């Protein structure tokens, strides 16, 4: 038997089908449409055009950076108020920058990402105000800030208000320096005044074939100097990671680049009031480093790779090097020892015999200052024959630049440990965190030579007359060099005078350093009361 439908129910259903949507339903539908436009962008095909350039969109980049489904966007509905030049007819949502916060490994991180699909990512008044807002929030919340840069500079149609927007960014970069970690990831053009914001941040990442940074473009350079070059040749990733030192990292693709940004964040505290994250360590603290005996040759003139030493000493052989391609005669890296983050500054005998020059001094000085700002203990591995001699170095200001490293170490209040592996000569020995400039603990291997200069050079100065008056100057020189080395350069000379705390077995290096770092974790040291110092320029 077929059930007969209630007429009243049928009439009600029919009425519901013809009843107009409520105001609430209309508004919700409008909101859904706007939010879809926010994500899709204003122009059909704009996302595909970005992909055709070999680049990800702003939101795809944020998704790679942040933990899944953790990003919260702020001011997605912001639009500019500019008029003239047809701007009043082009008012896309977001105004070309995506801002907000999310988590990386569960820790809060703020981000802004230029959306090249909108006005080429160019900065206007509303665009800048969104960035100012997220920068202020990051500082107030005490959380890192990551800038994903892919913009065409100031928005010409908005004139001086766009330039003022950059000024507000620069001021906030400076105010947050040493307070929260600031990371710039260059994923497109970054020209003119826009390049100064990344230069004010703690780390700069770039991607080959995608990123360019310069103050004046190739056309202007050619007009002024006659030199013709491409965007990549003028300001590409390899130029800034190997020649200028502006970028600390260079990659072949965006995915790998952003993955390493996550790694770097895992090694840094959220702000200057916290310690870096600690992880569980399964690598035994007392692990014997037998390999070190073979890694470092006893002959002070023979080269080796200091990275092999670092790999032997740190947890699981894992470290994160900064500025790997620039100033290769010094290695700067973040690593963990007993699960705690440590900053490593190390001579690199494989490059220029490990001497300090202008670029190495600048590289190490900035790294030391960064570690001190963010409560990262410093470990200095010393095998340095001195400063690089030469007219070019002297005229280039090696005195000023070397003093930067000296100032950075003297100003650092974090735990500081130095280890002399082989050579430690002259002023370079002092500068590389010797006891005399405030290292908390200094150790040395039995192969160490701590002296004003090498034995050959010293003997030529001290015994110049005696060598000259000898019947056999060469034999006399060899005899006097051996005498000088035996009396003033034996491994225990510095220890006998308290300049090193102990001479240790290389195989026990990890154990000694881990114990020393554990003891110094409660170190508390304050600088004299002052507004700020005046470091060498």
- β-strand partners of 76: none
Q: If you ran DSSP here, which 8-state letter would residue 91 be given?
A: -
* Structure tokens, 70: 């953790």
Report the alpha-carbon distance of residue 412 to residue 432 in Å, rounded. 13
Structure tokens at 315: 């947890």
Share of the chain residues as helix, strand and coil, in percent rounded to the nearest 5: 45, 15, 35
C-alpha–C-alpha distance, residues 281 and 283, integer Å: 6
The conformation of residue 20, written as its DSSP 8-state character, comes to P
Instruction: Tell me the β-bridge partners of 98.
Output: 113
Selection from 217, 320, 227, 224 nearest residue 276 by Cα: 320
Whether 533 is a known active-site residue: answer no
Out of 120, 245, 397, 427, the active site residue is: 427
CB atoms inside a 10 Å sphere around CB 454: 21
Task: Determine the Cα–Cα distance for residues 115 and 481; give it in Å rounded to an integer.
Answer: 66
Residue 517 tokens read as 């770092």
- Catalytic-role residue among 168, 178, 192, 397: 192
| Residue 428 annotated as catalytic | yes
Nearest to 263 by CA among 249, 274, 245: 249
**Token output for 480:** 């006097």
**Candidate list 120, 168, 193, 339, residue with the active-site label:** 193
For the chain, the straight-line distance linking the first and the last C-alpha, in angstroms and rounded, comes to 97
Q: Is 133 within 8 Å of 75 (Cβ atoms)?
A: yes
Catalytic residue among 138, 428, 495, 516: 428
Contact 210, 188 (CB under 8 A): yes
Q: What 3-state DSSP class applies to 189? A: strand
162 is catalytic: no
> Which of the residues are catalytic?
192-193, 427-428
């Amino acid at each position: 038997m077929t059930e007969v439908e209630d007429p009243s129910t049928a009439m009600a259903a029919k009425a519901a089908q013809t009843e107009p949507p409520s105001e609430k339903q209309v508004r919700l539908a409008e909101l859904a449409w706007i939010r879809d436009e926010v994500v899709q962008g204003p122009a059909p095909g704009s996302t595909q055009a970005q992909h055709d350039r070999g680049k990800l969109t702003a939101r795809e980049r944020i998704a790679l950076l942040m933990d899944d489904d953790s990003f919260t966007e702020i001011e997605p509905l912001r639009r500019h108020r500019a008029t003239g030049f047809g701007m009043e007819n082009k008012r896309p949502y977001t105004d070309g920058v995506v801002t907000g916060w999310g988590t990386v490994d569960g820790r809060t991180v703020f981000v802004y990402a230029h959306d090249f699909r909108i006005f080429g990512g160019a900065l206007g008044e509303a665009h800048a105000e969104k960035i100012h807002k997220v920068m202020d929030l990051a500082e107030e919340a005490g959380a890192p800030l990551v800038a994903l840069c892919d913009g065409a500079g100031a928005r010409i149609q908005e004139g001086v208000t766009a330039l003022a927007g950059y000024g507000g960014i620069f001021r906030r970069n400076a105010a947050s320096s040493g307070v929260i970690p600031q990371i710039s990831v260059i994923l497109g053009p970054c020209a003119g005044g826009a390049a100064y914001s990344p230069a004010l941040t703690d780390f700069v990442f770039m991607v080959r074939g995608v990123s360019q940074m310069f103050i004046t473009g190739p056309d202007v350079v050619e007009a002024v100097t006659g030199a013709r070059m491409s965007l990549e040749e003028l300001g590409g990733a390899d130029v800034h990671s190997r020649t200028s030192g502006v970028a600390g990292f260079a990659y072949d693709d965006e995915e790998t680049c952003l993955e390493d940004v996550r790694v770097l964040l895992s090694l840094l505290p959220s702000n200057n009031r916290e310690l870096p994250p600690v992880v569980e360590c399964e690598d035994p603290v007392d692990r014997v480093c037998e390999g070190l005996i073979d890694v470092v040759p006893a002959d002070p003139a023979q080269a080796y790779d200091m990275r092999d030493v670092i790999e032997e000493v740190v947890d699981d052989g894992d470290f994160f090097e900064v500025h790997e391609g620039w100033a290769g005669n010094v290695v700067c890296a973040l690593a963990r020892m007993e699960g705690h983050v440590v900053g490593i500054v190390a001579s690199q005998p494989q490059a220029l015999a490990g001497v300090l020059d202008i670029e190495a001094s600048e590289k190490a000085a900035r790294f030391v200052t960064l570690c001190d700002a963010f409560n990262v203990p410093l470990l200095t591995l010393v095998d340095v024959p001195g400063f690089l001699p030469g007219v070019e170095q002297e005229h280039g200001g090696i005195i000023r630049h070397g003093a930067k490293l000296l100032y950075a170490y003297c100003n650092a209040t974090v735990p500081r440990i130095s280890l002399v592996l082989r050579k430690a000569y002259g002023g370079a020995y002092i500068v590389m965190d010797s006891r005399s400039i405030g290292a908390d603990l200094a150790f040395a291997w039995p192969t160490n030579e701590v002296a004003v200069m090498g034995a050959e050079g010293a003997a030529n100065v001290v015994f110049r007359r005696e060598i000259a008056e000898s019947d056999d100057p060469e034999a006399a020189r060899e005899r006097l060099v051996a005498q000088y080395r035996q009396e003033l350069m034996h491994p225990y000379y510095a220890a006998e005078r308290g300049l090193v705390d102990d001479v240790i077995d290389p195989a026990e290096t990890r154990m000694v350093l881990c114990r020393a770092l554990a003891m110094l974790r409660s170190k508390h040291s304050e600088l004299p009361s002052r507004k700020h110092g005046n470091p060498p320029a």
